[in-house]
Structure 1
Amino acid sequence: MGPATRETSMMVVRDLIQEDTGKWNRNLIQAILPFEEERILQLQPSSRGAPDILRWLGTKTDEYSVKTGYHVETVVRSDAVWSEQNWNAGLSWVMTTAGEKSIGQRETSFVSSVLVAESLALRDAVLANRRLGVKEVQFEADSAQLIMAITSKMPPMEIYGIVEDITRLSVDFEFVVFGWIPRLRNVEADCIAKQALSMFEQEVVGVLLPPPN
Protein backbone atom coordinates (compact mmCIF):
# COMPACT_ATOMS: atom_id res chain seq x y z
CA MET A 1 0.00 0.00 0.00
CA GLY A 2 1.64 3.24 -1.17
CA PRO A 3 0.93 6.87 -0.33
CA ALA A 4 -2.58 8.27 -0.58
CA THR A 5 -3.74 9.12 -4.08
CA ARG A 6 -5.31 12.39 -5.09
CA GLU A 7 -8.74 10.75 -4.90
CA THR A 8 -8.27 9.24 -1.44
CA SER A 9 -6.26 11.96 0.31
CA MET A 10 -9.39 13.94 1.22
CA MET A 11 -11.53 10.98 2.29
CA VAL A 12 -12.92 10.75 5.83
CA VAL A 13 -14.37 7.84 7.79
CA ARG A 14 -17.95 8.40 6.62
CA ASP A 15 -16.78 7.85 3.04
CA LEU A 16 -16.06 4.23 3.96
CA ILE A 17 -19.65 3.63 5.14
CA GLN A 18 -22.51 2.76 2.80
CA GLU A 19 -25.21 5.42 3.01
CA ASP A 20 -28.12 3.05 2.39
CA THR A 21 -27.17 0.38 4.94
CA GLY A 22 -24.93 2.16 7.45
CA LYS A 23 -22.42 -0.69 7.09
CA TRP A 24 -18.78 -0.61 6.07
CA ASN A 25 -18.07 -0.54 2.34
CA ARG A 26 -15.86 -3.60 2.40
CA ASN A 27 -14.85 -3.42 -1.27
CA LEU A 28 -13.63 0.16 -0.84
CA ILE A 29 -11.75 -0.70 2.35
CA GLN A 30 -10.04 -3.61 0.61
CA ALA A 31 -9.04 -1.31 -2.22
CA ILE A 32 -7.47 1.51 -0.18
CA LEU A 33 -6.79 0.07 3.29
CA PRO A 34 -6.28 -3.67 2.79
CA PHE A 35 -3.94 -4.11 5.76
CA GLU A 36 -6.39 -2.38 8.11
CA GLU A 37 -9.52 -4.18 6.87
CA GLU A 38 -9.81 -6.59 9.78
CA ARG A 39 -9.42 -3.87 12.42
CA ILE A 40 -11.88 -1.55 10.67
CA LEU A 41 -14.55 -4.23 10.29
CA GLN A 42 -14.40 -4.92 14.03
CA LEU A 43 -15.68 -1.39 14.66
CA GLN A 44 -19.48 -1.30 14.78
CA PRO A 45 -20.79 1.97 13.29
CA SER A 46 -24.21 3.30 14.18
CA SER A 47 -26.91 2.20 11.75
CA ARG A 48 -29.13 5.14 12.76
CA GLY A 49 -26.80 8.05 12.02
CA ALA A 50 -25.47 8.78 15.51
CA PRO A 51 -23.33 11.94 15.59
CA ASP A 52 -19.55 11.67 15.81
CA ILE A 53 -18.11 12.49 19.22
CA LEU A 54 -14.74 13.18 20.80
CA ARG A 55 -14.52 11.58 24.22
CA TRP A 56 -11.76 11.15 26.79
CA LEU A 57 -11.40 7.62 28.11
CA GLY A 58 -12.29 7.98 31.78
CA THR A 59 -12.50 5.58 34.69
CA LYS A 60 -15.07 2.79 34.90
CA THR A 61 -17.83 2.75 37.47
CA ASP A 62 -20.00 -0.11 38.62
CA GLU A 63 -22.90 2.13 39.61
CA TYR A 64 -26.09 2.00 37.61
CA SER A 65 -29.82 2.09 38.29
CA VAL A 66 -33.02 1.14 36.51
CA LYS A 67 -36.41 2.32 37.69
CA THR A 68 -38.84 -0.53 38.14
CA GLY A 69 -42.22 -1.15 39.74
CA TYR A 70 -44.30 -0.69 36.58
CA HIS A 71 -45.90 -3.90 35.31
CA VAL A 72 -45.00 -4.54 31.68
CA GLU A 73 -46.64 -7.39 29.80
CA THR A 74 -43.91 -7.74 27.19
CA VAL A 75 -40.50 -8.83 28.44
CA VAL A 76 -37.60 -9.38 26.06
CA ARG A 77 -34.33 -11.05 27.06
CA SER A 78 -31.29 -10.88 24.81
CA ASP A 79 -27.94 -12.62 24.87
CA ALA A 80 -24.88 -13.30 22.74
CA VAL A 81 -22.10 -15.85 22.49
CA TRP A 82 -18.72 -14.71 21.19
CA SER A 83 -15.80 -16.68 19.77
CA GLU A 84 -12.49 -15.07 20.67
CA GLN A 85 -10.66 -17.28 18.17
CA ASN A 86 -12.39 -16.05 15.01
CA TRP A 87 -14.46 -13.05 16.20
CA ASN A 88 -17.76 -14.63 15.20
CA ALA A 89 -20.83 -14.23 17.39
CA GLY A 90 -24.29 -15.70 17.80
CA LEU A 91 -27.03 -13.25 18.79
CA SER A 92 -30.48 -13.98 20.19
CA TRP A 93 -33.54 -12.54 21.89
CA VAL A 94 -36.63 -14.10 23.45
CA MET A 95 -39.87 -12.12 23.73
CA THR A 96 -42.55 -13.22 26.19
CA THR A 97 -45.97 -11.58 26.10
CA ALA A 98 -49.34 -12.87 27.30
CA GLY A 99 -47.86 -16.32 27.82
CA GLU A 100 -46.58 -16.57 24.25
CA LYS A 101 -42.97 -16.56 23.09
CA SER A 102 -41.20 -15.30 19.99
CA ILE A 103 -37.50 -15.66 19.30
CA GLY A 104 -34.92 -14.12 17.03
CA GLN A 105 -31.39 -15.25 16.27
CA ARG A 106 -28.60 -14.55 13.82
CA GLU A 107 -24.86 -14.83 13.44
CA THR A 108 -22.39 -12.10 12.62
CA SER A 109 -18.66 -11.70 11.97
CA PHE A 110 -15.87 -9.28 12.88
CA VAL A 111 -17.09 -8.80 16.45
CA SER A 112 -14.27 -7.48 18.62
CA SER A 113 -15.53 -8.40 22.11
CA VAL A 114 -18.30 -10.06 24.06
CA LEU A 115 -19.61 -6.62 25.07
CA VAL A 116 -20.03 -5.66 21.43
CA ALA A 117 -21.83 -8.96 20.80
CA GLU A 118 -24.19 -8.38 23.74
CA SER A 119 -24.89 -4.87 22.48
CA LEU A 120 -25.68 -6.09 18.97
CA ALA A 121 -28.09 -8.68 20.38
CA LEU A 122 -29.94 -6.06 22.40
CA ARG A 123 -30.13 -3.73 19.41
CA ASP A 124 -31.64 -6.57 17.38
CA ALA A 125 -34.24 -7.10 20.12
CA VAL A 126 -35.16 -3.42 20.28
CA LEU A 127 -35.40 -3.13 16.51
CA ALA A 128 -37.56 -6.26 16.22
CA ASN A 129 -40.03 -5.08 18.87
CA ARG A 130 -40.22 -1.64 17.30
CA ARG A 131 -41.10 -3.24 13.97
CA LEU A 132 -43.74 -5.39 15.68
CA GLY A 133 -45.41 -2.26 17.03
CA VAL A 134 -44.87 -3.09 20.70
CA LYS A 135 -45.71 -0.05 22.85
CA GLU A 136 -44.60 -1.04 26.36
CA VAL A 137 -41.65 -3.35 26.89
CA GLN A 138 -38.97 -4.36 29.36
CA PHE A 139 -35.62 -5.41 27.90
CA GLU A 140 -33.39 -7.58 30.04
CA ALA A 141 -29.77 -8.69 29.60
CA ASP A 142 -27.21 -10.39 31.83
CA SER A 143 -24.47 -7.89 30.97
CA ALA A 144 -24.33 -5.33 33.79
CA GLN A 145 -21.82 -3.29 31.79
CA LEU A 146 -24.21 -3.01 28.86
CA ILE A 147 -27.20 -1.99 31.00
CA MET A 148 -25.03 0.54 32.80
CA ALA A 149 -23.86 1.95 29.46
CA ILE A 150 -27.46 2.51 28.38
CA THR A 151 -28.82 3.94 31.61
CA SER A 152 -25.81 6.16 32.32
CA LYS A 153 -25.69 7.46 28.73
CA MET A 154 -21.90 7.12 28.88
CA PRO A 155 -21.13 3.97 26.89
CA PRO A 156 -17.58 2.76 26.20
CA MET A 157 -16.32 3.88 22.82
CA GLU A 158 -16.45 0.36 21.36
CA ILE A 159 -20.25 0.28 21.70
CA TYR A 160 -21.05 3.98 21.40
CA GLY A 161 -22.74 3.69 17.99
CA ILE A 162 -24.78 0.65 19.00
CA VAL A 163 -25.99 2.22 22.25
CA GLU A 164 -26.93 5.39 20.36
CA ASP A 165 -29.02 3.25 18.01
CA ILE A 166 -30.74 1.58 20.97
CA THR A 167 -31.48 4.96 22.54
CA ARG A 168 -32.91 6.40 19.33
CA LEU A 169 -35.03 3.35 18.59
CA SER A 170 -36.40 3.36 22.15
CA VAL A 171 -37.99 6.77 21.65
CA ASP A 172 -40.79 5.09 19.69
CA PHE A 173 -41.95 3.07 22.71
CA GLU A 174 -44.53 4.57 25.05
CA PHE A 175 -42.77 2.92 28.00
CA VAL A 176 -39.44 1.10 28.02
CA VAL A 177 -37.18 -0.30 30.74
CA PHE A 178 -33.70 -1.76 30.46
CA GLY A 179 -32.82 -4.08 33.32
CA TRP A 180 -30.08 -6.48 34.36
CA ILE A 181 -30.84 -10.12 35.19
CA PRO A 182 -28.58 -12.92 36.48
CA ARG A 183 -27.20 -15.29 33.85
CA LEU A 184 -29.22 -18.16 35.32
CA ARG A 185 -32.41 -16.34 34.32
CA ASN A 186 -31.20 -15.92 30.77
CA VAL A 187 -30.48 -19.54 29.93
CA GLU A 188 -32.99 -19.77 27.07
CA ALA A 189 -31.57 -16.81 25.16
CA ASP A 190 -28.05 -18.11 25.84
CA CYS A 191 -28.87 -21.51 24.33
CA ILE A 192 -30.39 -19.91 21.23
CA ALA A 193 -27.32 -17.71 20.76
CA LYS A 194 -25.03 -20.73 21.09
CA GLN A 195 -27.10 -22.55 18.50
CA ALA A 196 -26.80 -19.63 16.07
CA LEU A 197 -23.02 -19.48 16.49
CA SER A 198 -22.63 -23.25 16.19
CA MET A 199 -24.65 -23.44 12.97
CA PHE A 200 -22.70 -20.52 11.49
CA GLU A 201 -19.28 -22.00 12.29
CA GLN A 202 -20.32 -25.39 10.92
CA GLU A 203 -21.26 -23.71 7.64
CA VAL A 204 -17.92 -21.88 7.53
CA VAL A 205 -15.96 -25.06 8.21
CA GLY A 206 -17.97 -26.83 5.54
CA VAL A 207 -16.90 -24.23 3.02
CA LEU A 208 -13.23 -24.27 4.03
CA LEU A 209 -12.71 -28.03 4.24
CA PRO A 210 -11.55 -29.66 0.98
CA PRO A 211 -13.88 -32.28 -0.53
CA PRO A 212 -13.10 -35.94 0.30
CA ASN A 213 -11.03 -37.91 -2.19
Structure 2
Amino acid sequence: RSVGINYDLAPVVDLDINPKNHVIHGLGRSFGKDPKTVAKYASIFIDAMHRYGILTSLKHFPGHGSSVGDTHKGFVDVTNLWQPQELEPYHKLKNQADSVMVAHVFNRKLDGQYPASLSRKTVEGMLRKRLGFDGVVITDDLQMGAISQKYSLAQTMQLAINAGDDILLFGNQLDPRKTVSTKKLVQTVETLLKKGKITPARINHSYHRIQKLKEKLQ
Protein backbone atom coordinates (compact mmCIF):
# COMPACT_ATOMS: atom_id res chain seq x y z
CA ARG A 1 0.00 0.00 0.00
CA SER A 2 2.94 2.33 0.69
CA VAL A 3 3.88 2.23 -3.02
CA GLY A 4 0.33 2.84 -4.24
CA ILE A 5 -1.00 -0.70 -4.62
CA ASN A 6 -4.54 -1.08 -3.31
CA TYR A 7 -5.87 -4.00 -5.35
CA ASP A 8 -4.14 -7.39 -5.58
CA LEU A 9 -5.57 -9.83 -8.14
CA ALA A 10 -5.09 -12.74 -5.76
CA PRO A 11 -5.41 -15.24 -4.11
CA VAL A 12 -5.36 -18.14 -6.55
CA VAL A 13 -7.96 -20.65 -5.34
CA ASP A 14 -7.43 -23.19 -8.12
CA LEU A 15 -7.02 -26.75 -6.87
CA ASP A 16 -3.76 -28.58 -7.53
CA ILE A 17 -5.49 -31.63 -9.02
CA ASN A 18 -3.72 -32.12 -12.34
CA PRO A 19 0.03 -32.82 -12.30
CA LYS A 20 0.08 -32.12 -16.06
CA ASN A 21 -1.10 -28.57 -15.46
CA HIS A 22 1.76 -26.18 -16.23
CA VAL A 23 0.14 -22.84 -15.40
CA ILE A 24 -1.07 -23.75 -11.87
CA HIS A 25 0.64 -26.96 -10.68
CA GLY A 26 3.83 -26.37 -12.64
CA LEU A 27 4.31 -22.87 -11.25
CA GLY A 28 3.36 -23.79 -7.69
CA ARG A 29 0.45 -21.36 -7.63
CA SER A 30 -2.06 -23.47 -5.66
CA PHE A 31 -2.49 -23.88 -1.91
CA GLY A 32 -3.16 -27.60 -2.44
CA LYS A 33 -5.50 -30.30 -3.68
CA ASP A 34 -8.09 -30.13 -0.92
CA PRO A 35 -10.68 -27.35 -1.41
CA LYS A 36 -11.01 -26.85 2.34
CA THR A 37 -7.26 -26.32 2.67
CA VAL A 38 -7.25 -23.95 -0.28
CA ALA A 39 -10.14 -21.95 1.18
CA LYS A 40 -8.46 -21.83 4.61
CA TYR A 41 -5.19 -20.34 3.35
CA ALA A 42 -6.94 -18.06 0.88
CA SER A 43 -9.01 -16.70 3.76
CA ILE A 44 -5.85 -15.97 5.76
CA PHE A 45 -4.38 -14.21 2.71
CA ILE A 46 -7.50 -12.06 2.26
CA ASP A 47 -7.55 -11.09 5.94
CA ALA A 48 -3.90 -10.06 5.78
CA MET A 49 -4.51 -7.91 2.70
CA HIS A 50 -7.57 -6.30 4.26
CA ARG A 51 -5.55 -5.48 7.37
CA TYR A 52 -3.43 -3.19 5.20
CA GLY A 53 -6.31 -1.79 3.14
CA ILE A 54 -5.72 -3.85 0.01
CA LEU A 55 -8.57 -5.37 -2.01
CA THR A 56 -8.38 -8.93 -3.34
CA SER A 57 -9.80 -11.16 -6.06
CA LEU A 58 -10.40 -14.90 -6.05
CA LYS A 59 -9.26 -16.61 -9.26
CA HIS A 60 -9.58 -18.34 -11.73
CA PHE A 61 -13.34 -19.06 -11.75
CA PRO A 62 -14.77 -21.64 -12.29
CA GLY A 63 -11.42 -23.44 -11.87
CA HIS A 64 -8.14 -23.66 -13.81
CA GLY A 65 -6.38 -26.30 -11.73
CA SER A 66 -7.76 -29.23 -13.70
CA SER A 67 -6.68 -27.89 -17.08
CA VAL A 68 -3.76 -29.05 -19.19
CA GLY A 69 -3.38 -26.07 -21.52
CA ASP A 70 -2.47 -22.45 -20.83
CA THR A 71 -5.06 -19.79 -21.70
CA HIS A 72 -2.23 -17.29 -22.19
CA LYS A 73 -1.31 -19.22 -25.31
CA GLY A 74 -4.65 -20.33 -26.74
CA PHE A 75 -7.93 -22.23 -26.47
CA VAL A 76 -8.20 -24.48 -23.40
CA ASP A 77 -11.02 -27.03 -23.11
CA VAL A 78 -11.61 -28.42 -19.60
CA THR A 79 -14.89 -30.18 -20.39
CA ASN A 80 -13.59 -33.65 -19.54
CA LEU A 81 -11.22 -32.51 -16.77
CA TRP A 82 -13.10 -29.97 -14.67
CA GLN A 83 -14.48 -31.15 -11.31
CA PRO A 84 -17.37 -29.63 -9.30
CA GLN A 85 -15.17 -29.46 -6.18
CA GLU A 86 -13.29 -26.62 -7.89
CA LEU A 87 -16.24 -24.39 -6.97
CA GLU A 88 -15.96 -25.05 -3.24
CA PRO A 89 -13.43 -22.30 -2.39
CA TYR A 90 -15.68 -19.74 -4.10
CA HIS A 91 -18.68 -20.94 -2.15
CA LYS A 92 -16.81 -20.74 1.15
CA LEU A 93 -15.23 -17.34 0.48
CA LYS A 94 -17.98 -15.54 -1.45
CA ASN A 95 -18.80 -13.24 1.46
CA GLN A 96 -15.16 -12.46 2.20
CA ALA A 97 -13.95 -11.87 -1.34
CA ASP A 98 -13.86 -8.37 -2.82
CA SER A 99 -14.07 -9.66 -6.38
CA VAL A 100 -13.78 -12.77 -8.52
CA MET A 101 -11.66 -13.15 -11.64
CA VAL A 102 -13.14 -15.33 -14.37
CA ALA A 103 -10.90 -17.57 -16.46
CA HIS A 104 -10.92 -18.09 -20.23
CA VAL A 105 -11.36 -21.87 -19.94
CA PHE A 106 -14.03 -23.53 -22.09
CA ASN A 107 -16.37 -26.13 -20.63
CA ARG A 108 -19.18 -27.25 -22.90
CA LYS A 109 -21.05 -28.67 -19.90
CA LEU A 110 -21.40 -25.12 -18.60
CA ASP A 111 -21.66 -23.31 -21.93
CA GLY A 112 -21.37 -25.00 -25.29
CA GLN A 113 -20.50 -21.79 -27.12
CA TYR A 114 -18.32 -19.45 -25.07
CA PRO A 115 -15.36 -19.64 -22.65
CA ALA A 116 -16.16 -18.78 -19.03
CA SER A 117 -15.10 -15.13 -19.17
CA LEU A 118 -17.49 -14.44 -22.07
CA SER A 119 -20.27 -16.74 -20.89
CA ARG A 120 -23.46 -15.35 -19.37
CA LYS A 121 -24.35 -18.89 -18.30
CA THR A 122 -21.15 -19.05 -16.27
CA VAL A 123 -20.98 -15.51 -14.87
CA GLU A 124 -24.65 -14.70 -14.28
CA GLY A 125 -25.95 -18.24 -14.11
CA MET A 126 -23.34 -20.05 -12.04
CA LEU A 127 -21.34 -17.40 -10.18
CA ARG A 128 -24.10 -14.95 -9.36
CA LYS A 129 -27.31 -17.00 -9.19
CA ARG A 130 -26.07 -20.47 -8.19
CA LEU A 131 -23.26 -19.43 -5.84
CA GLY A 132 -24.85 -16.14 -4.79
CA PHE A 133 -21.88 -13.84 -5.43
CA ASP A 134 -22.99 -10.24 -5.96
CA GLY A 135 -19.61 -8.52 -5.90
CA VAL A 136 -17.39 -7.29 -8.71
CA VAL A 137 -16.48 -9.75 -11.45
CA ILE A 138 -13.28 -9.10 -13.38
CA THR A 139 -12.09 -10.94 -16.47
CA ASP A 140 -8.67 -12.47 -16.82
CA ASP A 141 -6.54 -10.54 -19.32
CA LEU A 142 -8.63 -10.30 -22.49
CA GLN A 143 -5.47 -10.08 -24.60
CA MET A 144 -4.55 -13.66 -23.75
CA GLY A 145 -4.47 -16.12 -26.63
CA ALA A 146 -7.64 -17.96 -25.63
CA ILE A 147 -9.61 -14.78 -26.42
CA SER A 148 -7.52 -12.65 -28.79
CA GLN A 149 -6.95 -15.49 -31.25
CA LYS A 150 -10.69 -16.03 -31.73
CA TYR A 151 -12.52 -12.76 -31.10
CA SER A 152 -12.14 -9.18 -32.32
CA LEU A 153 -11.90 -6.36 -29.78
CA ALA A 154 -15.54 -5.37 -30.33
CA GLN A 155 -16.75 -8.97 -30.08
CA THR A 156 -14.73 -9.50 -26.92
CA MET A 157 -16.08 -6.42 -25.19
CA GLN A 158 -19.67 -7.06 -26.26
CA LEU A 159 -19.62 -10.65 -25.02
CA ALA A 160 -17.82 -9.82 -21.77
CA ILE A 161 -20.17 -6.98 -20.87
CA ASN A 162 -23.28 -8.99 -21.72
CA ALA A 163 -21.92 -11.98 -19.81
CA GLY A 164 -22.05 -9.90 -16.63
CA ASP A 165 -18.38 -8.98 -16.20
CA ASP A 166 -17.86 -5.66 -14.43
CA ILE A 167 -14.18 -4.97 -15.08
CA LEU A 168 -12.68 -5.86 -18.45
CA LEU A 169 -8.95 -6.40 -18.03
CA PHE A 170 -6.52 -5.43 -20.80
CA GLY A 171 -3.00 -5.88 -19.46
CA ASN A 172 -1.06 -4.49 -22.45
CA GLN A 173 1.95 -6.59 -21.42
CA LEU A 174 1.73 -9.85 -23.39
CA ASP A 175 2.63 -8.45 -26.82
CA PRO A 176 3.90 -4.87 -27.26
CA ARG A 177 2.66 -4.95 -30.86
CA LYS A 178 -0.93 -5.40 -29.74
CA THR A 179 -1.40 -2.80 -27.03
CA VAL A 180 -4.76 -1.03 -26.91
CA SER A 181 -5.37 2.46 -25.54
CA THR A 182 -8.00 3.42 -22.99
CA LYS A 183 -9.40 5.80 -25.61
CA LYS A 184 -9.90 2.92 -28.04
CA LEU A 185 -11.66 0.85 -25.38
CA VAL A 186 -14.00 3.71 -24.46
CA GLN A 187 -14.77 4.33 -28.13
CA THR A 188 -15.57 0.65 -28.59
CA VAL A 189 -18.03 0.74 -25.68
CA GLU A 190 -19.65 3.88 -27.12
CA THR A 191 -20.02 2.21 -30.52
CA LEU A 192 -21.55 -0.91 -28.98
CA LEU A 193 -24.04 1.28 -27.11
CA LYS A 194 -25.00 3.20 -30.26
CA LYS A 195 -25.55 -0.05 -32.15
CA GLY A 196 -27.65 -1.50 -29.35
CA LYS A 197 -25.23 -4.38 -28.80
CA ILE A 198 -25.05 -3.54 -25.09
CA THR A 199 -27.40 -1.49 -22.91
CA PRO A 200 -26.88 1.51 -20.61
CA ALA A 201 -28.58 -0.48 -17.83
CA ARG A 202 -25.97 -3.20 -18.10
CA ILE A 203 -23.16 -0.62 -17.83
CA ASN A 204 -24.85 1.02 -14.85
CA HIS A 205 -25.09 -2.28 -12.97
CA SER A 206 -21.33 -2.69 -13.24
CA TYR A 207 -20.70 0.96 -12.40
CA HIS A 208 -22.57 0.65 -9.11
CA ARG A 209 -20.78 -2.58 -8.17
CA ILE A 210 -17.40 -0.98 -8.88
CA GLN A 211 -18.28 2.15 -6.91
CA LYS A 212 -19.33 -0.02 -3.97
CA LEU A 213 -15.99 -1.82 -4.18
CA LYS A 214 -14.06 1.47 -4.27
CA GLU A 215 -15.86 2.64 -1.14
CA LYS A 216 -13.92 -0.02 0.77
CA LEU A 217 -10.75 1.95 0.07
CA GLN A 218 -11.99 5.11 1.75
Q: TM-score with structure 2 length normalisation?
A: 0.27
Larger Rg: 1
Higher strand residue share: 1
Query: Using CA pairs below 8 Å that are at least 6 residues apart, which structure has the higher relative contact order?
Result: 1
Q: TM-score with structure 1 length normalisation?
A: 0.28
